[in-house]
Structure formats: structure tokens, C-alpha cells
Structure 1
Amino acid sequence: MTARGAAGRCPSSTWLGPRLLLVCLLVSRSIAKEVSEHCSHMIGNGHLQVLQQLIDSQMETSCQISFEFVDQEQVDDHVCYLKKAFFLVKEIIEDTMRFKDNTPNANATERLQELSLRLKSCFTVDYEEQNKACVRTFRETPLQLLEKIKNVFNETKNLLEKDWNTFSKNCNNSFAKCSSPGHETLPRGSSDPQISGFVFHLLVPGIILVLLAVGGLLFYRWKRRSHRESQTLDSCVGRPEGSPLTQDEDRQVELPV
């Protein structure tokens, strides 16, 4: 091969780098587009209808159930609130929402579980699963719980349709505020019924003892005052005739007119 011929042929390795880079860019763009479409349209109106059917099929009752959920008063950022609420909703659907097998409600719950598993790829995790910052225990009726879950899915759907990448936001700073001093675990004006009952049983005997002590003290003071007044009256009535007062009175009587 002549020098000219050798110069006219480019080694295959010369084109390998740019071609690989171009292929990687095309693949990454296609993957990003696929993920974008995947997250943006993952929650459909059918899923919201399933949740509404679950709500409509529940018996109205005053009975309450306990579950852990995000304390919205402590999370200022709405995206961060939904981000943490999603993982808690996933746990509630798996552990709390129990229906008889092969019933419409059980099938609806399985469909929501599958949706939660697929949605997980659209969220980045900024905290450990054991981290309970910004989380407190709620006691609500099943209807209230299902309404809360439906709101989370509905708001998540709206945000994903606007920006599929919205839940990649780093929320560590927002969640760290919940762990700082000064934040209350329970909202003001509410408390756990068990704690309230314990405080009630603890305070009532103490109040009774205080009232008995105050009543005994008042009775003692009244008794002592009555005793003193009785002694004073007896001393005035039983004063001897030779006292100075009696002598002065005798002298006044003996004065000539």
C-alpha cells in the first residue's frame, strides 16, 4: 500500500469515539423521553375512579383507625409533602387497606399497589425509610383515609403532567426542619386518646387530694378561731370581783351625790 493510499484511509478507531458518543446521546434522549412520557401519564383518570369507588363502597361509621402520615403543618414545600406522602401511601395500601380476596375492593387495592410500584421510579428518595421526621400518627375514619389517599394521587398526577421531573427535587432541608427543636409531633389542640386518658386518671386523684388538703386547712383555721373566741368570751364573763375594773366601778358608786 502506497503512502498516499495509506493516508487516504482513516483507521476505524478514528470514527469510533464520535460515533459512540452520538449513539449514547441518542439513547439517553430516547430513554429520557420514554421516562418523561412514562411518569407524566402513569396516573390516569381510571385510577382516580377506582379510588372514588372504594370511597363510595365504604360503610359510614364513626370508628377510627390509626395510620402514619405526613404532618402537613410541618412541611412548607408542597412537592416535598407529596414526595414523602407517596411512600407512606404505598405502605398504607399494602398494610392497612385489607379486603376479602376476589372482591371488587380487593381487586381495586391490587391495582393501586401495582400503580405505586410503577410510580416509585418517578421519585427520588431523600431519606431513609426508618426516618419518621415530619410524620405523626393519625386517627381517622376509613372514609377520611381514602379521601386523603385520593388527594395525594390527584395532586401527584397534576404535578407529573406539568413536569415529569418535579419529584427529583432534593427535600433534605425541608425534612430536616421537622427534626429540629421546636417542632411538635402532634398538632396543637389534639392529642392521643390514650395519653389523654392517662393524664385524666393521673390528674383527678391529685386534684381531689389538693381539695381535701385545702378543705382540712380551712376547717382547722375555723376551729382554731372559734376556740380563741370562746376563750375570750369565757375570760370576760368569769372576771373576778377584785379586778381593777370592778374596784373602779365600786368607787364610782360610793361617790356622794
Structure 2
Amino acid sequence: MNLLVPADILCKTKCLYMMVLLCLPLAMGEPGPCRHSITRNHLLTLRRLIDNQLQNGCSITYTFIERRNLSKCCYVKAALPCILELLTSHFRYTRGSENHSYVLSLTGLIHNIYSQQCVPQINEELEDDPVSFGMSVHSTPSEALWRVHGVLSEYWELVTSSDSPVDWSCEQEYTDTARPTELSLTTVSSSWESEKVSQTGLDVALDRDLTFGFTMIVLSVCGGLLFIITLYCLITHKMSHCEYHHTSLQVNQIPGLHTEIQDLEMQGQ
């Protein structure tokens, strides 16, 4: 009777081992939070907020970061505080309205980026405050939001284009002490039009990436389901074989039972 225990334990251990092998890749395949700190839905939310603005509305005055010779990561790092200030100061809507929910989503996005430490806040002990890159801008709310769209799009490219962490060190780049500039509405309009053209190209790339990503997800899900079904069939077959082997051993160990079964079979013949 003791010989039955190792066979039963071995069968259950193999089944458990196969289930662990199945769950291990799923547990290890999840990337870090910064890669998903901004999604295409955030950019679409910003586009909806832009579409809800008046085409010929009154101009607003706000501070934004001038690109100059800043790299992409240092430009995004310097512009995020300006975006947060712009949204909270100039885009206030009735609570519960559609635009209000859009603004809450965008401000929550930036707070989440900081809370997840995806973009470190400017440390004035190690790097200069990029206030020298600030510029006073007079433009329509729609044009201001297009500037926000440009910065968030660049951040989206930074965190999704590479698996390696982004280097946010900007000590050298923030040492520029040039005086702030002031841009008028006419100056901003030309740059806004060129930025819209670049954003159109980015939207095409986003659509292409979304289609490819959706296709890969469907293929991965189908492959995973097929693997799980196959694994389930193998486990069921293995467990049935173990139970049959277990039952056979029990029958063989009962004294006289095997002889009686053979006698019955002979009588039937």
C-alpha cells in the first residue's frame, strides 16, 4: 500500500509544476509603470479638449519653455511644470462638464508621472532652474493646448521607444543664461501651424502603432488560449492515467480479488 503514495504525489507534483511554468512568464513579462504612464488615450483626451475650444477665442498669456538647444528629455522635464500651471490657471470649467473631466485627466496624468518618479522634479541643488528658457506667450487657448500636445507627445515617444530608462540629467543643458523672450500672437501662429503639421505625422504613426499592437495582442491571446487548452488536455490525460494506475495497483493488492475476476470472466465465456 505504501507504493501507491509516491506515484500519486508525483502525478500531482507534475501538474503543479506545469501550472507554475505557465504563470511564470505572465508574472515576469509586465514592464515598469513608466512605459504605461502615458497612453494614446491621454493624447486623444487632449485632442478632444482642443476641439472643444473656440477657433477665434480671446488670447491668453502664459509662460512656456522655449526649445532652443534643449534635448527632448530636458525640454519635457522643463515644460511639465508649465503645463500643469497652464491647465490649472487658464482651463477652468464647470464641475461635471466634459471639459472639466478632460482637464482633470490631464492634470492627473502629470501628477502620476511625478508620483511614479518617471520624470524627476528639478533639483536646484544639482541643476539650474530652467527659468532662463521661459517665454511669455500670447495665444489662443487652442494654440496653447497644441503646445501641451507637442510636449506630451515627445514624452510618449521617450518612454515607449526604448526599454532602457531615460536619462533625465540636465545639469549642462540648463546652464544657458539667455534672457527670456516674449512671443506675440503672430509669432506663435506660425510656429503653431508647423507644430500641427508635425503632430499630424505623429498621429499617423500612432494609428499605425495601434493597429500593429492590436494585431499582436490578438495573436498573443489566441496563442495563449491554444497553449492553455493544450496544457489542460495534457494535464487531464496525465491525471486520468495516474488515477487508472492507482486503481490498478489497488485491485492487484486485494488478495483473491484478481482470481475471482478471472473466474467470472471464464464463466462468462
| TM-score, L = length of structure 2 | 0.51
Pick the aligned partner of 2:96 from 102, 112, 122.
Answer: 102
Structure 1 contact 79–166 (Cα < 8 Å) conserved:
no
Are residues 1:84 and 2:78 paired?
A: yes
CA distance 1:59–1:156, shift in 2 (3 Å): same
CA distance in 2, matches of 1:132, 1:106: 29
Deviations 1:212-253 (A, max 9, x none): xxxxxxxxxxxxxxxxxxxxxxxxxxxxxxxxxxxxxxxxxx
1:51 Cα deviation after fit:
0.6
Q: Structure 2: which amino acid aligns with 1:80?
A: C
Deviations 1:131-164 (A, max 9, x none): 6221111111101011111111111111101236
Q: Structure 2: which amino acid aligns with 1:175?
A: Y
Are residues 1:68 and 2:63 paired?
A: yes
Pick the aligned partner of 1:93 from 76, 87, 95.
Answer: 87
CA distance in 2, matches of 1:150, 1:117: 16
CA distance in 1, matches of 2:163, 2:97: 34
Which residue of 1 is the match for residue 54 of structure 2? Answer: 59
1:41 Cα deviation after fit:
1.4
Q: Which runs of 4+ in 1 moved over 3 A?
A: 126-131, 163-168
TM alignment of 1:15-30, pairs within 5 A: none
CA distance in 2, matches of 1:48, 1:88: 17
Are residues 1:158 and 2:157 paired?
A: yes
SS in 2 for 1:151: helix
SS in 2 for 1:136: strand
1:59 Cα deviation after fit:
1.0
1:76 Cα deviation after fit:
3.1
Q: Structure 1: which amino acid aligns with 2:106?
A: L
CA distance in 2, matches of 1:148, 1:58: 14
CA distance in 1, matches of 2:154, 2:130: 24
Which residue of 1 is the match for residue 13 of structure 2? Answer: none
CA distance in 2, matches of 1:57, 1:165: 37
Structure 2 contact 129–174 (Cα < 8 Å) conserved:
no
Unaligned ranges ≥5, structure 1: 1-29, 193-257
Pick the aligned partner of 2:39 from 44, 51, 54.
Answer: 44
Pick the aligned partner of 1:124 from 120, 124, 144.
Answer: 120
Structure 1 contact 124–168 (Cα < 8 Å) conserved:
no
1:40 Cα deviation after fit:
0.6
Pick the aligned partner of 1:111 from 72, 97, 105.
Answer: 105
Which residue of 1 is the match for residue 135 of structure 2? Answer: 136
Structure 1 contact 83–167 (Cα < 8 Å) conserved:
no
Percent identity among equivalent residues? 22
Supply the RMSD in Å over aligned alpha carbons.
2.7
CA distance in 2, matches of 1:87, 1:167: 18
Which residue of 1 is the match for residue 191 of structure 2? Answer: none
CA distance 1:138–1:107, shift in 2 (3 Å): same
Aligned length: 154
1:169 Cα deviation after fit:
2.3
CA distance in 1, matches of 2:112, 2:135: 26
Deviations 1:28-71 (A, max 9, x none): xx9xx97x521111211111111111011111115210111101
1:127 Cα deviation after fit:
4.0
